[in-house]
Amino acid sequence: MDKIVLITGATSGFGEACARKFAANNYDLIITGRRKDKLHQLSEDLRSKHEARVLALNFDVRNKNIVTTNINALPKEWQKIDILINNAGLALGRDNFEEASIDDWDAMIDTNVKGLAYVTKAVLPFMIDAGSGHIFNIGSISGKEVYAQGNMYCATKHAVGALSEAMRIDLLKYNIKVTAIHPGAANTEFSNVRFKGDADKAAKVYEGLKPLVAEDVADIIYYCAGLPAHVCINDLVVTSTQQANSFYSFKKI
């Protein structure tokens, strides 16, 4: 058995790119997401291209009972999870605070914060038993600075930053590394989800900009994961060269 990586939200974007990167480098993969057909296609593709061992778990990270049941039921040979990539997440809407939808807020809090915590709690006993592990939490540049109409999304990503710091302190005694990765704008399905399928609005986010692509983030995570046992990158911000911070990008339009 090679090393095992569990990736949440592997059906597109950063999660899928991580699955491809780790599979190409002989990791065994546990991939998760809600879209069963995409999980199935990815599993088949990884098996055929890399001869990777792939286990697909189809669950919604918001459902704590299902998360716990799925992870507790992992077959013995899949329990020694070396790396957990807490990537599943989303933004919904880009509205002023007073106009934003409370349902959108609930979905972001439940996915980006509570879902991340449920998955981590379920995986931790395996890492503690093994005496090692590496947890990656995908935050965001919006977890560093708040931008206009970003209210609850930015708050959830600030929470990911805080939870990463908290995990790092509490899990140090178990020899578990915690790395928070905070990307800037990246062209994935993210904006399409945020704007609920409005392709024009989604495309505008990246107009005049050469944004990050999912593979950039996967390469960075893979690099961090490969550092010697005594080295941990704790907190990493990455943006495209045209983006200075959460709200200033130099757009050539």
Question: 237: Cβ–Cβ under 8 A, 6 or more apart, which residues?
Answer: 141, 144, 182, 183, 184
Residue 141 touches ligand 8X3, criterion: CB under 6 A: yes
> What's the closest the beta carbon of residue 185 comes to ligand 8X3, in angstroms?
5
151 counts as binding ligand 8X3 under rule CB under 6 A: no
Query: Which residues between 14 and 53 bind ligand NDP (CB under 6 A)?
Result: 14-15, 33-35, 38
The residue within the footprint of ligand NDP, chosen from 4, 5, 13, 133 (CB under 6 A), is 13
* Binding residue (CB under 6 A) for ligand NDP from 47, 62, 80, 201: 62
Residues whose CB is less than 8 angstroms from the CB of residue 71 and which lie 6 or more positions away in sequence, other chains included: 57, 119, 122, 123
Q: Which is nearer to ligand NDP, 70 or 132 (CB)?
A: 70
The reply on whether position 137 binds ligand NDP by CB under 6 A is no
Amino acid at residue number 82: D
One of 83, 178, 185, 217 touching ligand 8X3 (CB under 6 A):
185
Active site residue 206: no
In the chain, % helix, strand, coil (3-state, to 5) comes to 45, 15, 35
Burial 185-202 (b: 16+ CB within 10 A, else e): bbbbebbbbbbeeeeeeb
The answer to whether 135 and 232 are in contact (CB under 8 A) is no
**Binding residues for ligand 8X3, per CB under 6 A?**
140-142, 184-185, 246
The residues assigned a catalytic role are: 153
